[in-house]
Amino acid sequence: MSQAFVKESDEQWLHDIGPTLNALIVYLTRQNNGIRVYEKRSYIHPKINKEVHDMSNGLSYAKDEEGKWYIID
């Protein structure tokens, strides 16, 4: 069987990336077909008491208690 058929996916999930803002930017840029994604602003969300990063892709991200990124609704 050819290696092409047994190669595992290189896909990475949001919760798998490192806990730094730079890692988030690199991941989001890759997901955005190479078009740079940048932070528009950051603030402490009053309800969840976490730092939230509003990104240029229109979504907001925060880290959970384990330092894993997730999307804020």
- 27 lies in some domain: yes
Residue 7 has pLDDT above 80, yes or no: no
Residues of the chain above pLDDT 70, percent = 86
Q: State the average pLDDT over residues 46-60.
A: 97
Domain of 25?
Answer: 13-72
Q: What is the dihedral of CA 22, 12, 16, 36, to 10 degrees?
A: 20
Residue 52 has pLDDT above 70, yes or no: yes
- 8 lies in some domain: no
Confidence of residue 9 (pLDDT cuts 50, 70, 90): low
- 2 lies in some domain: no
- 21 lies in some domain: yes
Question: What's the pTM value of the predicted model, to 2 decimals?
Answer: 0.83
Residue 55 has pLDDT above 80, yes or no: yes
Residue 52 DSSP symbol: E
- 1 lies in some domain: no
Total number of domains constituting the chain: 1
- 45 lies in some domain: yes
Distances (CA, A) of 35 to 2, 7, 15, 19, 69: 33, 27, 21, 21, 20
Predicted pLDDT of residue 6:
43
